[in-house]
Amino acid sequence: MKTKRLITALILGFIITVAVSSFSGFASDCGQLSDKILRIHILANSDSEENQTLKLAVRDAIIAETQDVFARYTDKTELLAAAETLLPDIKQTAARVIAENGYDYTVNAEITNMYFTVREYDGFTLPSGYYDAVRVTIGEAKGKNWWCVLFPQLCIPAALDKKDVLSSVLTEKEIRMITEKTEYEFRFKLLEWLQELTQKLV
């Protein structure tokens, strides 16, 4: 029995190694893409309708009060530095909206590098992987999240022509990757599966 399990594990390991090796070029492209992006990630206190509504109110206030600042930057490194200085203001804005809506939830704002699964947003799809993100947590942060892309700036009304916005940061190949769903959807899902399987085996 132990021998059979060992053989199965070796075969599975071999299959994963071959798949990862043959897929490494695409995975590298996805990694380079994620390195260029800054996301915003807001977690609600819970999944109750009230808490989800509150999350969206916090989102609207943060986007409204930061969009002009973020719009000034074309370099992600400079933008990250600016975002770091804005964290107290972002936290204060969120706290104000929470209080105005009659809640006393704690709130936290930080810049972190975190793993995201494949996500679709308003006409484009981002591959799974680790992304820098401005992360805002409300209360127990056990509710559904809302996310968007702060850089390049895609989650504001002014970003109507998303390809024009994307072209200021991403290459033509990277833009195709996230906007041509039928061509890349399967590869995104396969990459996500390999990433999660690899993490379980580590």
pLDDT at residue 170 greater than cutoff 60: yes
Mean pLDDT of 110-139: 92
Check residue 13 and give left, alpha or beta (phi > 0: left; psi -120 to 50: alpha): alpha
In tens, the pLDDT along 7-24 reads 666 666 655 665 555 567
In sequence order, the 6+-apart residues with CB closer than 8 A to the CB of 190 are: 19, 23
pLDDT at residue 197 greater than cutoff 80: no
Say what the pLDDT of residue 25 is. 76
Mean pLDDT of 117-125: 85
Helix pair 49-70, 76-100: axis angle to 10 deg: 140
* CA gap 95, 3 in Å, rounded: 58
pLDDT band at 2 (very low <50, low <70, confident <90, very high): low
pTM of this structure? 0.81
